[in-house]
Each structure stands twice: as C-alpha cells, then as structure tokens.
Structure 1
Amino acid sequence: MRQSVLLGLCCGAALALACDGAQRIHLREPVALSAQERAEFRAMAPLRILAIDAPPMVRYDQASDSHAGIAVDIWCFIAQELGLSYAILPGRGQTVAEKILEVQQGRADVFMPLSRQPERARHGIFTLPYYQSYYAIIARKGRGLRVRGMNDLAPYRVGVVKGVALEPRLQASLPATQLTSFDQTNSDGMFQALLDERLDPVVFSKSIFEEKRLTRDYFDLEVIHTLRDDPREYGFYFSATPRNQRLVEAFNRYLAVIDASESLARHEEGERQLIERYVEQRRQRTLLQTASVAAALLTLGFGLAFVRYRRLARRLAASNQQIGRQKQELQESNERLERLSLSDGLTGLANRRAFDQALQREHARRQRTGAPLSVLLIDVDHFKGVNDYYGHSTGDDYLRAIAQVLSRTVARASDLAARHGGEEFACLLPDTAAADVQRLAERIREATAGLALPNALAPTPQLTVSIGVATLKSGPATAQELLAQADAQLYAAKRAGRDRVHATVLRA
C-alpha cells in the first residue's frame, strides 16, 4: 500500500511509518503503566510527527512514501504499547532548523531523530537517547589538511548543513566569511563545492557520508577526522506541553529498559545491502554503456582514424578504472559493516549476535568432542541507580570499565566476552571445567568490586556484579538450555543478595 500523510493508530492499515520493524524491539524488563495512563494516552489527539532522512535511524523511501529505521522501530513499538495515534507531516523541502522551529512553536508535536543540545532542550523536551553517532571532517583526497579537531578549522573555508547541532559552535569559532551553511535539501551542493575546491573541508554526519560516497560517486572525498570527543546522542524531540511532558515520561520508562540491538543490526545490515545493490546496478550500467560505446565505434572502425581508436581505449580504461574503484570501495564497506554488525559500539566487545553465533558453533563442536562448555551471564547490580543518580554518560563509563575487566580476565583465544544487552554481559568458555569457570567468575566479581566505582543509591554504595554460571559436562542439553540455566543461576544470585556467583553443572 502506498503510504502518505495519513492519520491512524500505530498498528492501523495506512501509515507513513514502516511499523513491521517494531517486532525487532524487546524489553529487558516489563514497564508498568496504570489503567488511567493507558486510557489517557489512547484518548489523545493524533501526534504530528516531522522526520528527516538520516540513516540508519530514519530512512525515507520515495518509492513507497514510507519511513523506516531504528528510530521508527522504537517509536512504533512504544506507540503500540501506549495506544497512541499519530500522523507524518509533509516537509521534504524544509531544513532541519525549520522543522525544529515547527515543534518549538507547537505546529508539530514530535521531531525524529534529533541530537540533544542545551538550546534545543530549553525550547522543547527530549526523551532519553536511543542512538549515538559522530560527525566527521571531510575533505578532498590528497589535500593534506592538518585537522585533528574543531579547533584546527580556523584557517579553512568550511561547509556545514543548516540547523545541525555543530553549526552554533562553528559560527562561534569561525569568521562569517569562512563558514558556508547549506540547506539540508542541498547537501549534495555542499559536497560539489568541496569537489570544486570552493570549500576546504565540510563537517557532516559520518554514517550518512559513507552512504553518499558510494551512491553519489564521491570517491575523491574522504573522512580526515572523526569527532569522537563530541558524540551525538539522538532521541525523540517533543514540543513543550503538559501533555507531551507526560508522554516523554512514559517514553523514558520504555527507553530505560529497551533492547534495540536486533533493530540496530538489521538496519546497519540493510544499509550494507542497499549499497551493494546500488553499486552492482551502477557497475552493470557502466558495463552496458561501455559495451554500447564499443559496439558503435567498432561498426565505424574501418572509417575511423587512429586517433579515434586511442580515444576509445582511453574511455574503456577510464570505465574499467571506475569499476575497480567501486569494487574496492564496496569490499571495504562490506568489511567495515561486517565488523560493526558483530561488535558493540559502546564497549568494543562482541555483541549479542556474535555471542549467539559463537555459542551455536561451540555447542556443535562440543557435541563432537565431548569437551565441557561453560557460559557466564553477568548483570550489573542496581545499575538503574547509576543512571538515575550520576547520569547515562557515567553509566556508559561504568559499562566500558567492566568491559575492560572482561577483556583482561577472559583472555584465551578460544574464549569470548560480549555485551549481551543493556547492563548484562556474557562470556563463552569452551573446554573449561566447572571448577575453573567458577574461579574465573569470582575473579571477575572481585575485579569489578576492585574498581571502587561509586553507586550512591545501592545498599552497598559501590558498583558490584552478580554472575550466573552453567557448565555443560555431559548429556543432550541444547545451547539455549545451557544459556537458560546460566540465566536461572544469575537470578538466583540476585535473589540471594547480589554481588555473588551461583553455578550449576548440566549432566545426563
């Protein structure tokens, strides 16, 4: 069904959001809503939504007139839970700044996705973040610009998209004559100015540029620096009304416990597949065009001078060179996306997808060899208190610190440490007996306590972990049964008072 600007419930028949992706969103724990809250949300007038094309969070498909992406999956899931109705407003010709102003002045209710910054937060309401990305400094290849951060841009002519989060910082640090702002709808004009050397570098979303580089043949451009010290955290941006304040509070309850790892993997994989299809189509068109030119010239070959044969050879060589560049770019993109799809962006450990694949592989090997196979599930005690008291940025630092403990402790080449979701980690230890894996779990627990990270809201005011251990020694238990037993032991450790290890051995 062709989608357009239509009102309807999130699970209705005609929407401008591709809500089938809501099934990729899961909760790490249930969210409680009162009957009064549910009744209030169902009775609300339809929310008016503005969106931008910002893969992988939101991608607009002109052919189907629909939006899809990580932000769409999360929105549809929560809206479905709350019973909200909504409408996608037109706005393809508007800039980011104009769409933000529509929300701030109450002509729209929600903007997705948007990165948080103080000025925006003063005039609207942000939900908790659900995605993090980075801006990059981009220049022509071979220019040799000495840029290692925003402060190094002063000598250069710089381009930026109007309304993005970094524009005010660039305006404050660069003379007006050196900064050129482009409408979002004319970002290709900005990159053309870079190719024509009317600009020196531009500041732009790294993930969106990687796609444009392939789909627009920007092979002469490259990322010369990623602004990792200034990550962008994206959430939903609501207009400041009492009704929307209550909605944001409800959304935050879900975002605090949401697991969007499946959606993240799906849409990053989708980006890779899209790029593959596009480059393949371009390659085929180039080959057909080259073949057509060759055939036409060959039919006239007996009447052409030698110089024309040389011209044909140059054109064929240029086409082959372009195809070679596209193949190389595609291979690099595939390798990069494959690494991203199996790693956790926050901690650098393997992600749940990589862990599940390794568990199935090692379980199959264990069935052939009979060697013991052990699994650890690790959960951070009272982690919600860390986010509530210190903020999500500190919570992320704590998770990275625990990941470093696991990297040092789970150190064999055959072992795997992964972030299983939220504040939960998992370790896979092939060929490891029950006594050895229990000692390893105790070292992890003690090393985490040794970090002495404060947790003011916990009964014991420092960060601790609870660990569930399961070892498959003999018998026909499946990989999922082994994982379920580790999970049961984890909850037993939680019920027994936390900051401890509980273990079991599976036998026939």
Structure 2
Amino acid sequence: MPAAFPQPTPRRQLALRWAARLLACAAALAGAANASAAGNAACTNAQRIVFTQPVTVTAQERAQIAQLSPLRVLAVSAPPLSQYEEETGRYRGVAIDVLCAITQELGLDWRLDGAPTQTVTEKIAKVQNGQADLFLPLSATLERERLGHFTLALYTSYYVAIARKGRSIEIDRAADLARYRVGLVRGVALQPILEPLVPAAQLLLAQQSFAGGGLFDALRAGDIDVAVFSRDFFVEQRYNHELFDLEIVHTFKEYPRHYGFYLGPDAAHLQLATLLDRYLGAIDTSASLRAHQMGERQLIERYLHQRQQRLLLLISSAGAAVLALAAFIALRHYRQLTQRLEAGHRRIRQQQQALQAANHQLQQLSQTDALTGLANRRMLDQSLAREHARWRRTGSALSVALIDIDHFKQVNDRLGHTTGDAYLRAVAGVLARSLTRVTDLAARYGGEEFLCLLPDSDAHAARTVAERIMDGIAALQLPNPRAGADAGALTVSIGLVTLQSGSHGTADLLQQADVQLYAAKHAGRNRIQATTLRA
C-alpha cells in the first residue's frame, strides 16, 4: 500500500484557515478597486476630443454632480463608436473618448461593465429599470424614448443595401427593395419602415449579424439578395470577418441613424442628459474618429502576425539538410506578403476615398437643427423650392403648416431655458411622429416656430396632419404656467395654407401661412386656421 500523507497539526490547520481568509479579503478588495477604476482606466484618449467653444456649468450644477454616485455605464460593440477588446477586457472607441472628455470636465466618476455577456436588449432594460445609468452608443426609437432619455447625437450613420459582388442589383430608393429577397437584423430602427414595403415572404429577420448563421451568412449563401445594415459598422467589421465578396450597392440617406447616449427615465437622468447635451453641442470628434476607424489596419496586422508565426514554425522544424528548401519557402512567402501589402495599400486608398465620402456626409449634417434634430432653415428653403417647382410641373396640391408654441416665453421666463429646450425637443418629436410619409418634412423655422412641408397634400389631408399634431402636443401634458393664470398644458397654434392653383411663389405661401398663424393666435390660440390659394 502507498504511504499515507502526514496529517497537519492543529496549529498548522489554524494557520491555513487564516491564510485562506486573508487571501479572500485581498481578492475582494482587488475586485472592488478594479470595478471602481474601470471607468478611469478606459480614459486614455480623452485628448482626442476637442471642445470648439466654452461650456457653461453653474456652481449649483457642479455641486449636484459632485453628490452623484459613480455612473454605471454599459456598452455594446459598435465600431468605430465602441469596440470590446478581448485581450484587455475593455471597450475603446469614439463614444468612450467623448464620455471620458465630458466626465473629466465635470469631475464625474463612472465605471464600465467590461464583460459583454448580455444582449443589447438586456442592457437597455437595465437602464430603463434603474440597474444602470447610461448605455452607449444607441440610436433613438419611439419605444426607447418613452422609457428613457437620449442625448444629442454624437455620430450619424446611414443604412445601406449590401449585395454579393457581380449581382445585378438596382436600388434607387427604399421602395425598390420590394423586387428582392431582403434581410435585416430583427429589432433595428428601420424594421417598421421596411415591413410595409417588402412582402413578408421576401423579408428575413435575422437574430444576429456577423455571427455564424446570421444575416451575412444568409447573404453569402444566397438565401437573400440584399442585406440592409448600418454602413459604418459594416465597413469596419467586414475586415474582421473578411467579407470582401460583398459590396454596398445603395445608401438610404433618407433614413439617417443618429447615435447618442441613453440614460434612465427619472428626472435626475433627464437633468444629466441636458447637461451632456451642452458638451455634445460643442465637441469635435474628428481626431477620435480617425483613430478608431482601423478595421483595415487590424486586418494587415493580423495577416502579418499569422505569417510571422508560420515562418517561425517552418524555420524551427527545418533541418540543415533542407536549408535551401526553407530559403525558397521563405522567399515565396515574402513575395506573397509583398503582394498582400500592395493589395493592402490599394484598400487603404479606398478607405481614404470612403473617409472623404464620410466628410461629405458630415457636411450634410449642417442641414440639421442641433437642438431638435429636425431639418434647419437651410434645408427647409431648399426643399420648399424643390417641391414648389414640382407643383408647377404637376399641379398636385402643396400644403404648409406653420406651428407656434403658445405662451412659450412664459416657459422660458418661469421654468428656465433648460426646460424650454426640453419642450422644443418634445414638440419636435411629436412633429416627426405625426408626418408618416417619407416625402413630408418637419423643420425648425426659428425660435419656438416649426414648419411642416406637405407635398401632394390637399386641404383635407393637411388638416388631418395638423389635427394629429395638436393631439400629440396635448398628449404630452407639458405644464405651461402662464403669468397671471392657473397652470395649464402646453398648446400650439397652427397656420395652414394649401397651394391649389395660380402663380403664387414660395414667398406668398410662407406669408399666407404666417397670416393664418396670426389669425389663430388672435382668435384665442390652441387652434388651426387654414386657407387655400387659388388663381
């Protein structure tokens, strides 16, 4: 029989128990330190974010920030905004750099859950039920807005149609997708827009995108003709997954996808979102964007690393008798590497061209109102001129609704400009939801005035839209304490004009809309005043 192990003495047993307790305490303290420092450890590139103008924060707001507990932050892999690194267990990306820069300015601490073990839906639910404070990055939908608060967008992307190279796919607008078998990831913001356009038998809703059995596997296998996906995420990830047999065939610029920070639903989170908006309105993220758009560079580095490992293996396993063969193999690999690098240079040039296109898209953002996300006056003037010219060609009715918030000065004077800005965003949200056609346009006209451009809409159809807007504003139940009166709910007055026939210009259309708005105000507000222009 084998010899028995000696039994430890009572003194040795006691010492072992104390040692185990000390090790457990040390592990717990180390875990707590790592958790509390997770946010600070990620803040290594905040200097890439440039503030283009000073941001004013009152002493009272700074005192309130100082009393906050460290923010509980969740993230999702969505390059270049955020990307989880397996080797470091951390996230990096433009959104992380922006969060670092703003929280350093505010002196606000935060920690990031580095383990991507939960789905996006589960992480969003954590923010909505108070188990986390902030989620990044996320694009706004109506359902999410009802259960939390979004900041201004820090990045805008577009959906694109992606097909296999060499296929004859002709798409000029979203309606053209009805001719093909279309796939997209279930739950994305474009799903409710495409479902009425694409027959159900031709629409595939995938549970995942790049993972095995997901959207792009279905496209490469020929189960679908076109995949609809976020442009920038595809451009970055196609290098990681080597999807070089796929290409973008169309960009849906009519459906911009705005990404920002998503916070919890309570008043404290709304106040924090409003404060973050001040900084987001004054940042330049171009340096961070250039640093994190590196999908192609990662491909080249991975290729070089793989080739180096293979070369070392060949050298270590070769003997003196096969030195000549080893030299030949090394030379062949070197030539292959040179060819690959030349191909990489070509892809880099293509990426530069793509960056130039992205800069052009950023210029398009100059047509968007920064506070409300609606079209600004420049885009409105261009769209109005285009639709008026089309009216002259076709004779189809053209309507305009000019909307003004009643007693809005009382909101700013008595509730503050921060609340006033929140009211403007809420009214803008109602306008965006009330216009159900892609040809309609909602714009911020100036101050608390908005304008809705309604092509191919006669007087009856335009009034239906105006009534839907008034119902939506009433449903908000936003307090509007007018001076010398009891507190009431926020209302709007609408001047509605329909261009039916004649030689009226755009100036006539806008002037008559202003006249009708004035008449609605003079008649007591909270009403619609309409007219039709004829020859």
Match of 1:88 in 2: 112
Match of 1:265 in 2: 290
Distance 1:346 1:252, change over 3 A: farther
User: Could you tell me how far apart the structure 1 residues matched to 2:41 and 2:379 are?
Assistant: 34
Partner-residue secondary structure (3-state), 2:255:
coil
1:27 offset after TM fit, Å?
1.5
Alpha-carbon displacement from aligned partner over 1:272-320 (angstroms, at most 9, x marks no partner): 432331343456568889x89xx99x99xxxxxxxxxxxxxxxxx9x99
User: Could you tell me how far apart the structure 1 residues matched to 2:188 and 2:140 are?
Assistant: 10
User: Could you tell me how far apart the structure 2 residues matched to 1:194 and 1:55 are?
Assistant: 21
Partner AA of 1:192 in structure 2: D
Query: How many residues were matched structurally?
Result: 348
Match of 1:181 in 2: 206
1:119 offset after TM fit, Å?
2.9
User: Could you tell me how far apart the structure 2 residues matched to 1:399 and 1:187 are?
Assistant: 47
Match of 2:180 in 1: 156
Match of 1:35 in 2: 59
User: Could you tell me how far apart the structure 1 residues matched to 2:337 and 2:262 are?
Assistant: 42
User: Could you tell me how far apart the structure 1 residues matched to 2:356 and 2:362 are?
Assistant: 10
Distance 1:287 1:400, change over 3 A: farther
Residue 255 of structure 1 pairs with residue 276 of structure 2: no
> Pairwise mapping of residues 83-232 of structure 1 onto structure 2 (< 5 A)?
83-89=107-113, 92-177=116-201, 178-183=203-208, 186=211, 189-232=214-257
Distance 1:395 1:259, change over 3 A: farther
User: Could you tell me how far apart the structure 2 residues matched to 1:325 and 1:343 are?
Assistant: 27
Aligned-pair Cα RMSD in Å: 4.3
Match of 1:345 in 2: 359
User: Could you tell me how far apart the structure 1 residues matched to 2:300 and 2:445 are?
Assistant: 46
Partner AA of 2:252 in structure 1: L
> Pairwise mapping of residues 282-361 of structure 1 onto structure 2 (< 5 A)?
330-339=344-353, 345-346=359-360
Distance 1:187 1:122, change over 3 A: farther
Match of 2:301 in 1: 277
Rg (Cα) greater in structure: 2
Match of 2:510 in 1: none
User: Could you tell me how far apart the structure 2 residues matched to 1:286 and 1:68 are?
Assistant: 30
Q: CA contact under 8 A between 1:211 and 1:275: conserved in structure 2?
A: no
Partner-residue secondary structure (3-state), 2:66:
helix
Alpha-carbon displacement from aligned partner over 1:85-112 (angstroms, at most 9, x marks no partner): 2222366243333332332233322111
Partner AA of 1:42 in structure 2: A
Residue 57 of structure 1 pairs with residue 81 of structure 2: yes
Distance 1:348 1:65, change over 3 A: closer
Partner AA of 1:333 in structure 2: R
Distance 1:162 1:27, change over 3 A: same
Partner-residue secondary structure (3-state), 1:154:
helix
Partner-residue secondary structure (3-state), 2:95:
helix
User: Could you tell me how far apart the structure 1 residues matched to 2:177 and 2:356 are?
Assistant: 35
User: Could you tell me how far apart the structure 2 residues matched to 1:161 and 1:343 are?
Assistant: 25
Distance 1:323 1:148, change over 3 A: farther
User: Could you tell me how far apart the structure 1 residues matched to 2:148 and 2:195 are?
Assistant: 22
Partner-residue secondary structure (3-state), 1:20:
coil
Match of 1:242 in 2: 267
1:324 offset after TM fit, Å?
9.3
User: Could you tell me how far apart the structure 2 residues matched to 1:6 and 1:326 are?
Assistant: 41
Alpha-carbon displacement from aligned partner over 1:10-68 (angstroms, at most 9, x marks no partner): xxx54386211111112222111122211211211232222111111111111001111
User: Could you tell me how far apart the structure 1 residues matched to 2:140 and 2:268 are?
Assistant: 21
Q: CA contact under 8 A between 2:84 and 2:92: conserved in structure 1?
A: yes
Q: CA contact under 8 A between 1:160 and 1:181: conserved in structure 2?
A: yes
Partner AA of 1:394 in structure 2: N
User: Could you tell me how far apart the structure 1 residues matched to 2:336 and 2:168 are?
Assistant: 23
> Pairwise mapping of residues 330-409 of structure 1 onto structure 2 (< 5 A)?
330-339=344-353, 345-346=359-360, 387-388=370-371, 391=373, 393-394=375-376, 397=379
User: Could you tell me how far apart the structure 2 residues matched to 1:325 and 1:46 are?
Assistant: 51
User: Could you tell me how far apart the structure 1 residues matched to 2:336 and 2:381 are?
Assistant: 44
User: Could you tell me how far apart the structure 2 residues matched to 1:340 and 1:153 are?
Assistant: 24
User: Could you tell me how far apart the structure 2 residues matched to 1:122 and 1:132 are?
Assistant: 21
Partner-residue secondary structure (3-state), 2:87:
coil
Partner-residue secondary structure (3-state), 2:79:
coil
1:348 offset after TM fit, Å?
7.2
Structure 1: gaps (5+ residues): 300-316, 350-379, 402-452, 459-508
Distance 1:320 1:170, change over 3 A: farther
TM-score, normalization by structure 2: 0.55
Distance 1:348 1:40, change over 3 A: closer
1:215 offset after TM fit, Å?
2.5
User: Could you tell me how far apart the structure 1 residues matched to 2:282 and 2:300 are?
Assistant: 34
Structure 2: gaps (5+ residues): 1-29, 323-331, 384-442, 449-535
User: Could you tell me how far apart the structure 1 residues matched to 2:243 and 2:217 are?
Assistant: 9
% same residue:
36
Partner AA of 1:150 in structure 2: A
Alpha-carbon displacement from aligned partner over 1:248-276 (angstroms, at most 9, x marks no partner): 010011111112222222223x4443233
1:235 offset after TM fit, Å?
0.6
Partner AA of 1:331 in structure 2: H
